[in-house]
Amino acid sequence: MDVVKSSISGLGGRIHITSTPGHGTCFSISLPLTLAVLDGMVVQIEKETMVVPLNAIAETLTLRSGEIRALGPTTQVVLVRDTFVPLLDLGAELGYRQPKTDYSGSVALLITQEDGSRAALIVDNIDDQRQVVIKGLQDSYGHVPGVAAATILGDGQIALILDPADLIVNASGNTAPNPTLRKVG
Amino acid sequence: MDNMENASINTIQDERVDQSDIELLSFRIGDHEYSVNIMSVREIRGWTRATSLPHAPRYVHGVINLRGTVLPVVDLAKRLGLDTDEPSERSVIIVIDYEDRTVGVRVDAVSDILSVAVNTMQPPPEMLSDGSEKFVQGLIVIDDRMVRVLDIETVLPPEDEATA
């Protein structure tokens, strides 16, 4: 019985026993459904701590002004070893801030998708790599665009786990603070 | 409605609580007094910083960690369209169960537990000036104060809006 209780507690579950003498006993075992653990990169975006799944990240980049080129009036690309990769400002895509005027010196995550397409997602800072426990948002709140799930960090705060594929599909790509033609760097 | 009688108040220690009484938890937002059926209140928490959700409606304050689960928090003042101060550290979060959903609701302060007879609750008057009456299930008059009974379902964020 003790082994059962330890195993269940170890999984984050609970066991409850009700018993009526001469009648029977009922054991209720509750186990959390989402036991998934994810390897993630913990990043800062506009003072919010967020997590990007590590398996989506090919590498990290520091953007240099010579490598950033304008594509359209509000979109830019970055040169990564002879190919141009679309640039997305995550702070702007998530609605936390307006696009910046200058992204040179910014840190970006190079995301590779299953179809081979790539994108560079700009974050404010990369904190570290961590394994996080996935907590679903679907049941408690519903779907949030660009967000896969949530996790609880060591300090008790909730951090959102981003969905890079969803972000890229729905991205505006807007990296210009106002829609005027920008000079090529 | 000509029948304006004061609801009889029994304190929670009173033994003679009638079967037809309901218990309401009353709380304050700015100068307004609201209440919810206490049977739907799971707990009351002090203020904690919420993680904001991108692209959420303005009245969704964010999510907080409720002992290991993710709890969405609605800023009730914004939801009702009331003009009040921004949330402060003295705000209180009331955790409410509605059907299978649990939601936190930020208010300024929790006041009282009121025991009122169901038949003294009046329906809200149909004044369409500020739009806040659709959130009110009924009115209770206590000691010349008007306490609105909140309709919880109207306050919750809509469930799973259509995905792109």
Residues of chain B scoring pLDDT < 50:
1-6, 8, 10-11, 13, 15, 161-164
Look at residue A25 and tell me whether its pLDDT is greater than 80.
Answer: yes
Amino acid at A125: N
Interface membership of B163 toward A (CB under 8 Å):
yes
Q: What are phi and psi of A175, to 5 degrees?
A: -125, 25
Predicted local confidence at residue B63, as pLDDT: 94
Closest by CA to B108, choosing from B153, B46, B59, is B46
Interface membership of A167 toward B (CB under 8 Å):
no
| B120 contacts B22 by C-beta, under 8 angstroms | no
Predicted local confidence at residue B136, as pLDDT: 85
Among A140, A146, A157, the residue with its CB nearest the CB of B69 is A140
Predicted local confidence at residue B126, as pLDDT: 74
Predicted local confidence at residue B19, as pLDDT: 57
Single pTM value for the model = 0.75
Burial class of residue B129 in the structure, from the number of CB atoms within 10 Å of its CB (0-12 exposed, 13-18 middle, 19+ buried)? exposed
ipTM: 0.73
Q: Which chain A positions have a beta carbon within 8 Å of B55's beta carbon?
A: 94-95, 144-146
Which residues of A, range 42-81, sit inside 8 Å of B by Cβ?
A: 48
Averaged confidence pLDDT in chain A: 86
Among A140, A150, A170, the residue with its CB nearest the CB of B164 is A170
Three-class SS state of B134: helix
- Model confidence band, residue A65 (pLDDT cutoffs 50, 70, 90): confident
Q: Partners of A20 in the beta sheet?
A: A24
Q: A44-80: buried (b, 16+ CB within 10 Å) or exposed (e) per residue?
A: ebeebbbbbbeebbeeebebeeebbebeeebbbbbeb
Cα of B96 vs its chain's centroid, Å: 9
Average pLDDT over residues A85-103: 90
Q: Which chain A positions have a beta carbon within 8 Å of B56's beta carbon?
A: 144
Predicted local confidence at residue B72, as pLDDT: 94
Look at residue A128 and tell me whether its pLDDT is greater than 90.
Answer: yes
| A142 contacts B161 by C-beta, under 8 angstroms | yes
- For the domain spanning B20-162, the CATH number is 2.40.50.180
Predicted local confidence at residue A30, as pLDDT: 76
Among A142, A145, A158, the residue with its CB nearest the CB of B51 is A158
- Model confidence band, residue A101 (pLDDT cutoffs 50, 70, 90): confident
Predicted local confidence at residue B124, as pLDDT: 79
Average pLDDT over residues A32-54: 86
Look at residue A100 and tell me whether its pLDDT is greater than 70.
Answer: yes
For residue A111, the surrounding DSSP H or E stretch is: strand A107-112
Domain residue ranges in chain B:
20-162
Task: Name which residue leads in pLDDT, A185 or B67.
Answer: B67
Percent of chain A surpassing pLDDT 90: 38
Among A96, A135, A143, the residue with its CB nearest the CB of B70 is A135
Test A142 with B56 for CB contact under 8 angstroms.
Answer: no
